[in-house]
Amino acid sequence: MRTDTGQVFHLEDYKPTDFLIPETHLDFRLHPERTIVKSTLKIERREGVALDTPLILDGDELKLESICIDGVALGDNTYVVTPDRLEIRGLPEAETFTLEITTEINPTANRQLTGLYRSSNVYCTQCEAEGFRRITYYLDRPDLLSVYTVRVEAETSAAPLLLSNGNPGEKGTLDDGRHFAIWHDPHPKPAYLFALVAGDLGVITDTFTTASGRPVNLGIYVEHGKESRALYAMDALKRSMAWDEEKFGREYDLDVFNIVAVSDFNMGAMENKGLNVFNDKYVLAEPDTATDVDYAGIEAVIAHEYFHNWTGNRITCRDWFQLCLKEGLTVYRDHEFSADMRSRAVKRIAEVKGLKAHQFPEDAGPLAHPVRPRQFREINNFYTSTVYEKGSEVVRMIRTILGAETFRKGMDLYFERHDGDAATIEDFIKVFEDASGEDLSQFALWYDQAGTPNLAITYDYDQATKTFEIEIEQSLKPTPGQPSKKPMHIPIQFGLLGTKGREIRPRATKGGLVKDDVIHLRKRKERFTFSGITERPVPSLLRGFSAPVTMTSELTRSDLAFLARNDRDEVTRWQALTQLLNSKLTSNSKRVRGGKPATIESSSIRLLGELAFNNALDEAFRALCLNVPSESDIARELGANIDPEAILGSRDALILAVAEAHGEKFEQLYNELEHHGAFNPDAAGAGRRSLRNVLLDYLSVADGNPKRASKQFKQANNMTERAAALNVLVQRFGTSTATNDALQAFEARYGNDALVMDKWFVVQAMQPGESALGKVNELMKHQLFSLDNPNRTRSLIGAFSSGNQTGFNRADGKGYQFFAETILTIDKKNAQLAARLLTAMRSWRSFEPERREHAREALASIASVAGLSTDVRDIVERTLA
């Protein structure tokens, strides 16, 4: 584990390397505890670099065995080595020379899951961002591209499968029960894209022929016996490959594309060139084990990693400050892919929900940072929803501003101009400026200014002149290191609705720039005047959620209800409904604990019913409408002085009121939606199930007993319906026998299936109220629980701390105390995981004073420990700052 040195890295300190490594040869003699890595590097001194300039390589917990230059062992006085650095002086005068370094590493002891480690006896690597330096001393930075040849050798019986990047080469058996394979990757790449996998795994294979006729062998490697669970991932992979050709003109560029699923992985998956390594959660699915959400996640992550082949691998990042260059863009691409595979509006609403649930709070709290940060202490802490999801929104805005056609021209230019480069955000913006002839310098502030802009909007209609005026004022609060902000270029897609929802086309506009259906807000305060408007319109703003902003507008409740009923843009309909419900939910949540919530207006209840029963609408959309704002949505809207118990009460009161008003029709619909045929994970099937499952919750609340959920739990022929029923049982009837029976039955059936058991831990970690902490403590002692496995840790500790509002944020602070102790334990094993989990406390300042003080104490207790990892030290100090 790297402990904190206090070092801060700055974007403006970027300097190219003095040396290049055009060729990298790696030879791995795999052994569980003593793996020998021999690295042979062709080193080239850059022109103009002084001959006495030392070569300084990165390491991390390394042990040097030997070092030679041009075949001659180096004398002790010509180099200085520590576990994290190798400095070589007295280099040959020749422009190029060969450096040979041998290190010994212990994959079994590696619990950080970066570098070379073992997961269920499979050797695998994870090198992004700085894991390669845990394998051998190297120039471990993304702008150092090299052509890799890798020889992997292992015991044949333990590791019949030997994989690395690129195309397969020579293979052979050795006489001591070992064998080897050689892999060559012709595409120069940075070290973070290196990968190696060796072990005993099952496989499914397929082929894909690219548009220009290159046959590609596809392989997905999984635990023996789970092959059939990889078929959906394979299908998603082939669809991704075809889609990238069709939508972006991008073809695959090697003879093989392999994916390996492992069960111990810190993140979702990794785009290593030609050899993606996946958290098995994003590969394995069968109707009996995976929910619709799991299927959609697999489709998205498979696509995401595949798309990185061009956005990330062929064109990589100059330095880690540019992380959003590959991540924001690739998220944008996977969002578009999923939108094309499923319902675009439903997908977009899910994205908006995710953005608001994760990125907005990040932007509003102590961990706020720009999409492209300018400084960091630990890069691992910047794989954030700001870099990924807001980064994707910024790309989407470029398309909204320039139009789809010009956007595509810019992308083509990007691929043409920067193929093989380690590029920057400036390069990315420049291709769109060149493709469009427009100046995007103001727009580029989106990469630099942290925080979520708010738009304050006022309207004025003048009957006499038939003009409608919209005035918009943007504001952006200070964020860490950024006390004042400049006005941004914000694209606001819009429409004006007349009677019956008819779209009104303005004759002309004056004031700020309006192009087609987009208002371009560029000043701090700007007015847009539309003429030829014959009746007072209801404006529909931010259609498609065209910019990641919040809005305060003077729309009345009846305007909002009108939009929810009539707008042609489903995202705006959903937003209008949410705003209507939120205003009631938040005002009720401010009431003193135990007080009786204000009555919910019957008009909102009627509206919810209308949307739920409207057969013309997509079932998935109707389900999204019925899924009223969550406890954390309401907390975010409140922003300060949060009392989670009051929020839970106010939300439950709304659900009960809606359930009582529509009970009979809900029941009828619930019964109609029952499906007897075979399970299909497509959008239509998933939509039907999501609507039915949200109805189950309403009906169970109205019934006041667990019978219906119990019945669904027992009869379900798929995990989506089974898990939803279990969720209702635990959330609504936590202590009932029916709930206990279901939990036991689930455990008996799936006890051997780690991914499914993760769901069992999650559902219990989320049980509302003060009793959750006792439950979590009890589950930590369960024989299937272990802090060594990231998925399992996230399913209990992660779900509890980031998902259970009332359980984690107990008024007595015991949830925080428990969490702080657990974080310290995890930090010693897996610092990245500990730091990520700890971000659950980033909104601590928005709680009411009592909880806030308990949270501060818990954070301070972490900060006071000596020898924290750099990862946790960085998060805890920024959170407290």
Q: Which residues are catalytic?
A: 305
Nearest approach in angstroms of CB 308 to Zn ion is 6
> What is the arrangement of strands in the sheet containing 508-511, beginning at the earlier edge strand?
508-511, 525-531, 467-475, 454-462, 550-553
Encode burial over 396-430: b for 16+ CB neighbours within 10 A, e otherwise: bbbbbbbeeebbbbbbeebbeebeebbbbbebbbb
State how beta strands 146-155 and 178-189 pair: antiparallel
Instruction: Tell me how crowded residue 593 is: count the other CB atoms within 10 A of its CB.
Output: 10
Distances (CA, A) of 474 to 10, 471, 517, 579: 30, 10, 19, 19
Nearer to ligand PHE, 332 or 750 (CB): 332
Nearest approach in angstroms of CB 500 to ligand PHE is 46
271 near ligand PHE (CB under 6 A): yes
- The residue whose two tokens read 């702008």 is 143
Nearer to ligand PHE, 270 or 625 (CB): 270
Nearer to ligand PHE, 243 or 670 (CB): 243
Residues of span 203-262 touching ligand PHE by CB under 6 A: none
Q: Which residues contact 152 (CB under 8 A, 6 or more apart)?
A: 28, 30, 162, 163, 164, 180, 181, 182, 183, 196, 198
Nearer to ligand PHE, 327 or 336 (CB): 327
Q: Which x/- pattern, by CB under 6 A, does the window 78-117 give for ligand PHE?
A: ----------------------------------------
130 near ligand PHE (CB under 6 A): no
* Cβ atoms of residues 58 and 118 within 8 Å: no
Q: Which two tokens stand for residue 23?
A: 């060729």
Q: How far apart are CA 752 and CA 754, in angstroms?
A: 6
Of 112-120, 328-336, 448-456, 694-702, which part binds Zn ion (CB under 5 A)? 328-336
Interface with Zn ion (CB under 5 A), residue total: 2
383 near ligand PHE (CB under 6 A): yes
Nearest approach in angstroms of CB 303 to ligand PHE is 11
Strands (E), 350-476: 375-376, 422-423, 454-462, 467-475
Q: Which residues contact 42 (CB under 8 A, 6 or more apart)?
A: 21, 22, 23, 24, 96, 97, 98
Of 117-125, 265-273, 281-289, 413-421, which part binds ligand PHE (CB under 6 A)? 265-273
Q: How far apart are CA 637 and CA 590, in angstroms?
A: 11
Q: Which residues contact 680 (CB under 8 A, 6 or more apart)?
A: none
Residue 179 contacts which entry, ligand PHE, Zn ion, none (Cβ below 5-8 A, type-dependent): none
Nearer to ligand PHE, 233 or 440 (CB): 233
The gap from C-alpha 138 to its chain's centroid, in whole angstroms, comes to 29
Nearest approach in angstroms of CB 329 to ligand PHE is 11
Nearer to ligand PHE, 267 or 364 (CB): 267
Nearest approach in angstroms of CB 267 to Zn ion is 9
Residues of span 432-451 touching ligand PHE by CB under 6 A: none
Give me the residues paired with residue 380 across strands: none
Nearest approach in angstroms of CB 613 to ligand PHE is 40
Residue 267 contacts which entry, Zn ion, ligand PHE, none (Cβ below 5-8 A, type-dependent): ligand PHE
384 near ligand PHE (CB under 6 A): no
Nearest approach in angstroms of CB 372 to ligand PHE is 16
Q: Which residues contact 185 (CB under 8 A, 6 or more apart)?
A: 147, 148, 149, 150, 164, 165, 166, 167, 254, 273, 274
Residues of span 83-112 touching Zn ion by CB under 5 A: none
> CB-side exposure of 475: number of CA atoms within 13 Å?
7
Nearer to ligand PHE, 302 or 547 (CB): 302
- The residue whose two tokens read 């004006």 is 496
Residue 153 contacts which entry, Zn ion, ligand PHE, none (Cβ below 5-8 A, type-dependent): none
Of 217-225, 264-272, 513-521, 588-596, which part binds ligand PHE (CB under 6 A)? 264-272
From 67, 233, 237, 267, residue interacting with ligand PHE (rule: CB under 6 A): 267
Element counts in the chain: helices (H) and strands (E): 29, 33
Nearer to ligand PHE, 271 or 631 (CB): 271
Q: How far apart are CA 848 and CA 856, in angstroms?
A: 12
Residues of span 293-352 touching ligand PHE by CB under 6 A: 304-305, 308, 327
125 near ligand PHE (CB under 6 A): no
Binding residues for Zn ion (CB under 5 A):
327, 330
Q: Which residues are at the interface with ligand PHE (CB under 6 A)?
A: 126, 128-129, 267, 269-271, 304-305, 308, 327, 383
